[in-house]
Amino acid sequence: MNDTRNSASTQVRLTNTLAGLPWWLLIVTLAGLFMIYSFYTDKTYNSIFGFLKAGLIVTMRVTFISYAIAITLGLLTGLGRVSKNPIIYNVATLYVQVMRGLPILVTILYVSFVITPWLMAQINWVGVSLANINLLSPDNVLAKLGDRSAGLNVDFEVRAIAALSISYGAFSAEIFRAGIESIGRGQMEAARSLGMNYFQAMRHVILPQAIRRVLPPLGNDFIAMLKESSLVSVLGVQDITQLGRLYSASSFEYLKTYNMVALMYLIMTVILSLGVKITEKRLSTDGF
């Protein structure tokens, strides 16, 4: 009887252990190893990777720059969302609601083909106006920025970065707002009772605790932005996706090309996902 119970208990433990293993990671790893093996043994994959590796640099550059701007914009907007000033609060809320309500692809197209040309035209107008009243020379830099092709002299990668930053700034703002509001009001009251003003209390007491709490969701947002960066290919930006489209269209190797494109994105996102999980565990054990 005892042997039967021990055997059943062992089977339960073994089943639970097997169920708890990260099988998804094992499958992804095996698929990745197979693709890497194919890369070394298949000349076509070798050629595809050689063509796409320049796009890898562009993808990472667009993602890192965009997210650095987005979290800065998100922090400022998040502070606006918890502000008691009605003007600041409503401006921040309007920005968040509008940008969260628009598809990112629409934002990219709108920023690239509407806002950028309009903004460059306004800069050109300022330059021409200042030249007309002899404050600047007729060929000043402001007048040259727009001229007849207003906005056409702005690189499309810059436009893509601006659009992604504006979009994800709104998402980051809500993350920061939630993090700030998760800190008990007593923290602010205690800081104010010690003689700190509002901004000092935010800087030294509230924000350090809030940022600690929002790091995991910010990490998830970064992963999402990495994937959404593929949308910049609609502007002709030479990222991984765009180069994959160009290579497949010229070689008709659609299967192998998009296998490589998918693998490159998957490797990056899996590595970042594991980094986020490690950060969450360190935060949960107060080891961060």
Q: How far apart are CA 247 and CA 245, in angstroms?
A: 6
CB 168 within 8 A of CB 177: no
Residue 258: domain span: 28-280
CB 226 within 8 A of CB 269: yes
Residue 4 forms part of a structural domain:
no
Q: List for the chain the helix, strand, coil content (%; round to 5).
A: 85, 0, 15
Q: How far apart are CA 4 and CA 197, in angstroms?
A: 69
pLDDT for 174 equals 92
Residue 223 forms part of a structural domain:
yes
Of 56, 48, 58, nearest to 259 (Cα)?
48
Residue 40 has pLDDT above 80, yes or no: no
Instruction: Give the other-Cβ count within 10 Å of 27's Cβ.
Output: 10
What's the number of domains the chain is made of? 1
CB 145 within 8 A of CB 46: no
The residue whose two tokens read 């003007």 is 87
Q: How far apart are CA 89 and CA 84, in angstroms?
A: 7
pLDDT for 202 equals 81
Residue 5 forms part of a structural domain:
no
Residue 199 has pLDDT above 70, yes or no: yes
Instruction: Give the other-Cβ count within 10 Å of 134's Cβ.
Output: 8
The residue whose two tokens read 């509230």 is 206
User: Which one has a higher pLDDT value, 43 or 280?
Assistant: 43
Task: Give how far the C-alpha of residue 108 lies from the chain's centroid of Cα atoms, to the nearest Å.
Answer: 14
Q: pLDDT tens digits for 228-239?
A: 999 999 999 999
> For residue 179, what are the CA distances in angstroms to 35, 165, 183, 214, 223?
41, 20, 7, 6, 19
Q: Is 84 left (phi over 0), alpha (psi -120 to 50) or beta?
A: alpha
Q: How far apart are CA 119 and CA 241, in angstroms?
A: 29
Residue 147 forms part of a structural domain:
yes
CATH number, domain of 191, equals: 1.10.3720.10
pLDDT for 261 equals 92
Residue 14 forms part of a structural domain:
no
pTM above 0.85, yes or no: no
Residue 21 has pLDDT above 70, yes or no: no
Residue 228 forms part of a structural domain:
yes
pLDDT for 108 equals 94
Q: How far apart are CA 240 and CA 261, in angstroms?
A: 7
Residue 256 forms part of a structural domain:
yes
CB 244 within 8 A of CB 55: yes
Residue 3 forms part of a structural domain:
no
**Confidence label for 247 from pLDDT (cuts 50, 70 and 90):** very high
Of 74, 86, 90, nearest to 180 (Cα)?
74
